[in-house]
Amino acid sequence: MRANDGFADGAYGASGRRVVKCLPTASEDRAVAVTRLQNAYYLTRDMDRAVAFWRDALGLELRFQDGAKWAQLRLGDSNIALSSPEEGAPQAAGATLVLETDDLAGARKTVEASGGTVIDERKMGSGTAITFRDPDGNVVQLFQRPAK
C-alpha cells in the first residue's frame, strides 16, 4: 500500500497512475444510461477572444459557432464548448458537464429520485437538455438528441 492512500497493492498501473475499478452498486438498476460525454463548456463574455484562444493557443478545431452565443470545438471524440452567460445553464458558474442520454424523461425521474434538483428544461435545434444541481449543488446537464 502507498502512503496511507487507502488503496491496496496493485491499484497502480505501470505508469504509476492510480487505477480505479468501478464496482456494481445497489442502485445500479436505476442508474441513468449515460452514453458519452457530449461536451463541457465554459462561460465567456467575449466569444471571439475565447474562440481564438481555444483554437489558436490550444489547437482545437472549431466545429460550430452561433455568433456570440455558443461555439463548439472538437477535442478528440468529445467537445469543448464556449457559451455566453445568457445561453448557458441557469445559475452556472465555471464549467458545466453535459452528459448525453437516450432517455431524457427517465433520466429526469432518476435524477430527482436520487437527490438532484432539476432547475431547467429546454429544447434546442440539436436536442433537449435538462439542467440540474447534484446533491452538492454542482450544475450538470443531461442532453438527448431528437429521434431520427
Per residue in 65-90, pLDDT tens? 999 999 999 988 888 898 998 988 88
Asked if 99 and 140 touch (Cβ cutoff 8 Å), the reply is yes
CATH among 3.40.190.10, 3.10.180.10, 3.55.50.30, 3.60.20.10 for 28-144: 3.10.180.10
Cα separation, 51 vs 72, in Å, equals 9
- Report the distance separating Cα 130 and Cα 146, nearest Å: 14
Domain ranges of the chain: 28-144
- pLDDT for 143 equals 93
Q: What is the pTM of this model?
A: 0.59
Alpha helices in 1-148, H assignment, sequence order:
47-52, 104-113
Euclidean distance between CA atoms 53 and 41, whole angstroms: 14
